[in-house]
Structure 1
């Protein structure tokens, strides 16, 4: 049945999915006649959408009815529920009926249960930054969609540079596609690094400075990142992920584990080859040092979410982190 519900906070990913669904459903020649985009501020928007969904398309292709930011999964009157119950099973195959919402559907509502019965439901929430395996799969999927061939090192670099920002991911890959032209060779770090805006990469440089105890340089980089409007919480997520990863590696090595794949899997390290370089980096550092970093980063995250001044909070904690590793 051609009924869809897309929900989640990743508005750009939803927009991309809507575009694909539209292209699949509409004949471009008849698009202006068959596309109904209905916003929630229109009178009786849901009823209007249901009525349009029952209307046959003009010319060729399907009718595409889109209820934008619909509140159906958060509140629904008994009268509206009855209309949904009557109409959804009868929507013809010549109509694509789409509902989108940024809010998670309330599973307790009868309207949500009804949509679960008739609609294809897909979530579009940002991938948590620490789930690097899922971020890597997303990079690989979008690269294939855009038409870019990446080496494993190139894909890893993009994960670190872009994180879970899907809008930036599409933008960077489109830039890389234009640069690559007709090249069939998989692109690695050397080819793509100069093209990518790497705020996350700068956060990785911050990790390196902290590990070396270079307080002055770390503070300068924090100031630069914040002046570039890099969200403080995003920087904290990168730091937390990197220090947690290094703690896992150090703990595994100290326990006597030597199998690189086992260590890489435990540390959620996408590329096991990076383990060689991380081992050299960690040789002179202790488990205790990394254990001290995580409570500080948790305090920093909590403070920022409570409204602390970003610059002051970041600088204070970066100084404390550098002191842990200062030799």
Structure 2
């Protein structure tokens, strides 16, 4: 197979798979020549992709041409060129691989996509929904098995809550636990010392901000920083939560249907709306708007080197 299509929202697992494919096929000493990544910023990207993929590798090993699906398929918008596309795909040298990646599966209704799918080996990397407890427990079990860490049910439940659907963090935390346990069963007390529960910390922080408890909010921010959470990561998480709250509250006040609120808020689990409504029951739209404005301002300040994290969090908590 000379064409691979990888797609999905689990970017960590997808990138791990890319690294594996490259390491298996491209000789390390010739990687600079034989792993060619063409981005959407390139002009005439389709032409460049197929020029590269028809050119034999330098030295030892195979050659991989890596591009993103939106850019490649977008540049192949002329359906009249489909026969030419099929001819090119069918003539890719056996030493070469065309790797196409994206965060979603291309629209298979399009003729050019149908042609690509005809030649491609597909692999999907689905992100476990944050509300899917069983799926998250399975994710925890997967990385426990990879790193040969023995878990008791209470430890599994704690790690599922603490790590959530973050595959990158799961891999990192289990690598650490594997060194610590050396094959022995680890207790819940030991795990709590080694693996912080950032999800619970974020819940406490956002509720403190929403309920106007600045001192508690500052304490929670300090706790996240002590656990090596990056300030920009904290702000990004808060922005996402406050955006969802604002959409929910505005939707309620304008009497939008639950279906429409779920759509606008991009909720993957419609049942979550019930809990969101309860969280914003006694909060005004203006407070949420002002909070979101300050979070956007805080992000810009942090990116420019001004560290106003604690003071801005306190300010939002007093609106």
Structure 2: distance between partners of 1:302 and 1:80: 55
1:18 CA displacement: 0.9
Q: Secondary structure at the match of 2:98?
A: strand
Q: Secondary structure at the match of 2:72?
A: coil
Query: Match of 1:309?
Result: 291
Structure 2: distance between partners of 1:301 and 1:179: 45
1:303 CA displacement: 6.5
1:155 CA displacement: 3.0
Aligned residues: 256
Structure 1: distance between partners of 2:54 and 2:90: 11
RMSD value, Cα: 4.1
Structure 2: distance between partners of 1:55 and 1:235: 48
Query: Match of 2:96?
Result: 95
Structure 2: distance between partners of 1:165 and 1:302: 32
Report if the CA contact (8 A) 2:66-2:99 is conserved. yes
1:168 CA displacement: 2.2
Query: Match of 1:144?
Result: 145
Query: Match of 1:28?
Result: 28
1:77 CA displacement: 2.5
Report if the CA contact (8 A) 1:74-1:105 is conserved. no
What 5-or-longer segments of structure 2 have no aligned partner?
225-230, 243-272, 293-312
Structure 1: distance between partners of 2:77 and 2:3: 21
CA 1:129/1:95 → structure 2, altered by over 3 Å: closer, same or farther?
same
Q: TM-score, normalized by length of structure 2?
A: 0.63
Taking the TM superposition and a 5 Å limit, the aligned residue runs for 1:119-130 are 119-130=120-131
Q: Secondary structure at the match of 1:20?
A: helix
1:188 CA displacement: 4.2
Q: Secondary structure at the match of 1:66?
A: strand
CA 1:139/1:2 → structure 2, altered by over 3 Å: closer, same or farther?
farther
Q: Secondary structure at the match of 1:187?
A: coil
Structure 2: distance between partners of 1:140 and 1:301: 39
What 5-or-longer segments of structure 1 have no aligned partner?
237-290, 317-327
1:257-283: CA deviation from partner (whole Å, max 9, x where unpaired):
xxxxxxxxxxxxxxxxxxxxxxxxxxx
Structure 1: distance between partners of 2:279 and 2:6: 34
Structure 1: distance between partners of 2:103 and 2:74: 11
CA 1:84/1:197 → structure 2, altered by over 3 Å: closer, same or farther?
farther
CA 1:30/1:138 → structure 2, altered by over 3 Å: closer, same or farther?
same
Query: Match of 1:197?
Result: 196
CA 1:160/1:65 → structure 2, altered by over 3 Å: closer, same or farther?
same
Q: Does 1:158 align with 2:159?
A: yes
CA 1:73/1:162 → structure 2, altered by over 3 Å: closer, same or farther?
farther
CA 1:109/1:223 → structure 2, altered by over 3 Å: closer, same or farther?
farther
In terms of mean alpha carbon deviation, does 26-35 or 198-207 score higher? 198-207
